[in-house]
Amino acid sequence: MIKEIQLRVTINEEKQEGILLKKAARSLKLDTHSISGIKVLRKSIDARKNSIIFNYKLAIYIKEKIPEDPTYTFLYKDVSKAKEIHIIGFGPAGMYAALRCIELGFKPIVLERGKNVQDRRRDLKAINQDHIVNKDSNYCFGEGGAGTYSDGKLYTRSLKRGDVRRIFENLVYHGATEQILVDAHPHIGTNKLPKVVKSIRETILKYGGEIHFETKVSDLVIKENKLKAIQLNNTTEMTVEKVILATGHSARDIYYLLANKKIALEAKSFAMGVRIEHPQHIIDSIQYHCEGKRDELLPAAAYSLVQQVKERGVYSFCMCPGGFIVPAATAQGEVVVNGMSPSKRNNLYANSGVVVEINVHQDIPKYDHFGALKGLEYQKNLEKLAFTAGGRTQTAPAQRLTDFVDGTLSNTLNDCSYQPGLKSAPLHSLLPKIIGGRLRTGFKEFGKKMKRYYTEEANVIGVESRTSSPVSIPRKENLEHIQIEGLYPCGEGGGYAGGIVSAAMDGERCAEAAIKGW
């Protein structure tokens, strides 16, 4: 017999050996010896009140063994001689599209402009230490996409778009910790993601798929609205029939390529703002109602904040407890900041994007002449502005939080995790009013919701601009482009995802759509 129950455990009880067994037996009015096993289905922490509670959802096995097999099995088969599906981009969408193709008996041929995870590290070092940006190998481009060297946050609201559990179990199959199947807000960690990504690559190659690194798609050959071939690195031409376009939200050259060929694109609303970084102990003290060091059982505290300001949302995004800020530029002459955390989330700082909704049809009329690319051009201008304000290197412009809100240049800045360094700059006046003004109001309101959040000990760092694509590539119900036969826009770059899990699910869906009826 199996029974599912919910249990609440205090932090003192959590330290007691066998507490779940004891509480489960008491809840079910059973002797502990009658329970043959307990499986944790879900675990979360409720720290909203002064007492901290661990919430458990448990499967209780009564005189029955816990099954050892996973819920899902992934039956990959040899596809070395099968029909080919071409996949442009090897981020989460591209990886899962390739894996799904193999399951369904088709051969994925992946074309990735960047390098593999090992070689990519040198280019990340060059950005951080030498301020040199390789336009094809950076924090956004390369094996695993922007997700590889990121926090690996797996929380998603896209529950209707696909099977989230299947995505998680596939990550576990490829080496991720089983804890992601349990945690309410699961993450893998920037130190562990590269090994998972490498394992996915090895599976694809083992079963006959192909992955070509440092292979950039430079042109599309289209005849009578049908995709016939793709040009690689401005030289080689490769014949294709079905192409999944999974290039991510930062592959701007792809948008320009499509626009130049008069292929349908649409402007899409997005969000932009800054990164804010606090000492982690401040966030811990707010969220866990403690002074000094948090209890060892508690993870580095996170937060989620949202405020409506002048009919636009101001909200925290990609919050990274115990993490660090990284340079996410994809070209020289721009500064972009992003955040990530290692698996233990044990760094000294907590950072989060705090961004403002941009209605692309109402908020930036001066960019209307760019058509579908107006949001992209707006992004680019703010990134160039940050580059100039930071001193024309990857040094980022920054202010203390209180100075940003008060409109005062900071004489000094707090220590920070951002390796290329910070430069004091008047972000409050450099950012457009539709962003800067709303941020200043939003930060004040956040300070009312979380005491001590509004502090001079926090830095505001610019700019956080790559929250999502400002362009979408329209597709039909069958997921094929509305105009070009054989082209399947996919994932964040197509405007159909907003993170690792939703991108992975869309990759699977596009693979299924591409092979349907073939």
CA dihedral 109, 115, 118, 119 (to 10 degrees): 140
CA distances in angstroms from 143 to 8, 140, 328, 502, listed in the order given: 41, 9, 15, 18
Query: Cβ neighbours of residue 11 under 8 Å, at least 6 residues apart?
Result: 51, 52, 53, 54, 295, 297, 298
Contact 303, 351 (CB under 8 A): no
CA dihedral 378, 381, 386, 392 (to 10 degrees): 160
Which amino acid is it at 506?
D
For the chain, which residues make up each domain, given as ranges?
A: 2-62, 84-265+473-515, 267-464
Q: According to the model, what pLDDT value does residue 159 have? A: 59
Task: Show the tokens assigned to 453.
Answer: 């959040």
Looking at 317-464, list the stretches that DSSP marks H as alpha helix, in order from N- to C-terminal side. 374-389, 401-406, 427-430, 433-449
Q: According to the model, what pLDDT value does residue 161 have? A: 64
State how far the Cα of 152 lies from the Cα of 135, in Å rounded to an integer.
23
Task: Show the tokens assigned to 408.
Answer: 């005062």
Task: Show the tokens assigned to 43.
Answer: 């675990």
State how far the Cα of 159 lies from the Cα of 156, in Å rounded to an integer.
7
Task: Show the tokens assigned to 287.
Answer: 């969220």
Give the helix/strand (H/E) hosting 57. strand 53-62
Q: According to the model, what pLDDT value does residue 160 have? A: 61
State how far the Cα of 91 lies from the Cα of 316, in Å rounded to an integer.
24
Which amino acid is it at 222?
I
- Give the side-chain half-sphere CA count within 13 A for 42: 12
Q: What is the DSSP annotation of 197-222?
A: HHHHHHHHHHTT-EEESS--EEEEEE
Characterize 120-141 residue by residue with b for buried, 16 or more Cβ atoms within 10 angstroms of its Cβ, and e for exposed.
beebbebbbeebebbebbbbbb
Q: According to the model, what pLDDT value does residue 396 have? A: 98
Q: What is the DSSP annotation of 82-139?
A: SPEEEEE--SHHHHHHHHHHHHTT-EEEEE-SS--HHHHHHHHHIIIII---BTTBSS
Q: ∠ CA(157), CA(158), CA(162), 5° rounding? A: 145
Report the candidate in 286, 281, 280, 278 with the shortest Cα–Cα distance to residue 47.
286
State how far the Cα of 444 lies from the Cα of 453, in Å rounded to an integer.
9
Contact 190, 152 (CB under 8 A): yes
State how far the Cα of 501 lies from the Cα of 442, in Å rounded to an integer.
29
Interhelix angle 117-125/193-206, rounded to 10 degrees, is 140
pLDDT tens digit at each of 518 positions of the chain: 899 999 999 999 999 999 999 999 999 999 999 999 999 999 999 998 888 999 999 999 999 988 877 778 899 999 999 999 999 999 999 999 999 999 999 999 999 999 999 999 999 999 999 999 999 999 999 999 988 887 778 877 665 667 899 999 999 999 999 999 999 999 998 899 999 999 999 999 999 999 999 999 999 999 999 999 999 999 999 999 999 999 999 999 999 999 999 999 999 999 999 999 999 999 999 999 998 889 999 999 999 999 999 999 999 999 999 999 999 999 999 999 999 999 999 999 999 999 999 999 999 999 999 999 999 999 999 999 999 999 999 999 999 999 999 999 999 999 999 999 999 999 999 999 999 999 999 999 999 999 999 999 999 999 999 999 999 999 999 999 999 999 999 999 999 999 999 999 999 999 999 999 78
Query: What does the radius of gyration of the chain's CA atoms come to, in whole angstroms?
Result: 24
The whole-model pTM stands at 0.95
Interhelix angle 92-103/164-173, rounded to 10 degrees, is 90
Q: What is the sign of the dihedral through the CA atoms of 291, 296, 300 and 301?
A: negative
Contact 461, 422 (CB under 8 A): yes
- For domain 84-265+473-515, give the fold: FAD/NAD(P)-binding domain (3.50.50)
Task: Show the tokens assigned to 314.
Answer: 């101001």
Q: In degrees rounded to 5, what are phi and psi of residue 461?
A: -130, 135
Query: Cβ neighbours of residue 136 under 8 Å, at least 6 residues apart?
Result: 113, 114, 214, 216
Report the candidate in 499, 372, 496, 375 with the shortest Cα–Cα distance to residue 434.
375
Contact 458, 446 (CB under 8 A): no
CA distances in angstroms from 219 to 3, 134, 233, listed in the order given: 57, 21, 9
Q: According to the model, what pLDDT value does residue 162 have? A: 72
CA distances in angstroms from 176 to 172, 179, 196, 210, listed in the order given: 4, 8, 6, 23
Tell me if residue 159 falls in helix, strand or coil: coil
Report the candidate in 142, 94, 141, 92 with the shortest Cα–Cα distance to residue 117.
142
Which amino acid is it at 471?
V
Contact 187, 138 (CB under 8 A): no
Which amino acid is it at 276?
I
User: Would you say domain 2-62 falls under CATH 3.40.50.880?
Assistant: no
